[in-house]
Structure 1
Amino acid sequence: MNSTTEALIERDVQVHPRCPVCWSGSETMEHLFLECPVARALWDYAGLEYLGQGLPRHTFPLFLKKLMALIHQSQLVMAVVALLWRIWRSRNWVVFEGKQFGLPDLMRQFHQQYQEWISLPVDRSPRTIPPALHSGGSVNPCPFVCQWDIIILVTF
């Protein structure tokens, strides 16, 4: 199960252990993002299926780490992130909103999201570490609970 499913179960929320997108596999990160027929179709549609060939697929975090290490073009990184975001959003639509969707809808939404993201201006100014981190000072924690097991920092 993914961490979101586990967190919901801990809160006594009824959650089905099967993938809510295809119902053909257990809901794990590996299944949802890599093995689910819907996810595979999106990877193919985006022309990104070749990127993951030969990479370990037994743990999604390792797969993603190795995939991002291979990609050197910012638009490819953006495409992968948009694809993963679209898969995650489709899962949440089914689970939390009871919405059903077709693969053509997801493909269109992925394409639209990607086009929007690559059209955004890029801030190329040098990044600096906040002074509080340099001096050993404290930084207030983020008030949000992050359900992702991986946080991707993409620097262009």
Structure 2
Amino acid sequence: MQAVSRQIEWRERQRLGQRAGGWLLCAGVLLSAGACASSGRLQAVRGAEPNSSWVAIKGARVAQVASGVQVEMPDAPYRARYTDAQGTYYKASVPLLYRTSLGTVCAMDGGLYLRYDSQGEARIWTEPVLLKPTMPYPTYFEVERHLP
């Protein structure tokens, strides 16, 4: 009887440890996002929400961004939100979902960054930390541009 009780207690501890590890991994993802901020000056896009240009992802919307971490990008539209000297930040209408291999899910505001010289490849970015958008992962998605 005691052996069964110990085994159940051990399983509970192991499961709680995995959850805590997942939250720590998620916290690490968020901190790394803050550490990799873009250095350009941002300007808000006029008429940013309903009337601006937008992009849509072609193909798969899930990508592995780090060992044990995947990002699930929402459906279109991604509306123009900010611009800098190199490109435009397109914000998703709902948060991006980061999932870890341990089952932890983190939702973060952000979207896709499209350089002016790009031929349709956009990079993931997350909402500004210390007034600058972050681009923690060099993960690209093929996108289609739409004008208002």
Short-chain TM bin: under 0.3
Quick check: which one's strand share is greater?
Answer: 2
Report the structure number with the largest CA radius of gyration: 2
Higher relative contact order (CA 8 A, sep 6+): 2
* Superposition TM-score, scaled by structure 1 size: 0.21
* Superposition TM-score, scaled by structure 2 size: 0.22
Quick check: which one's helix share is greater?
Answer: 1
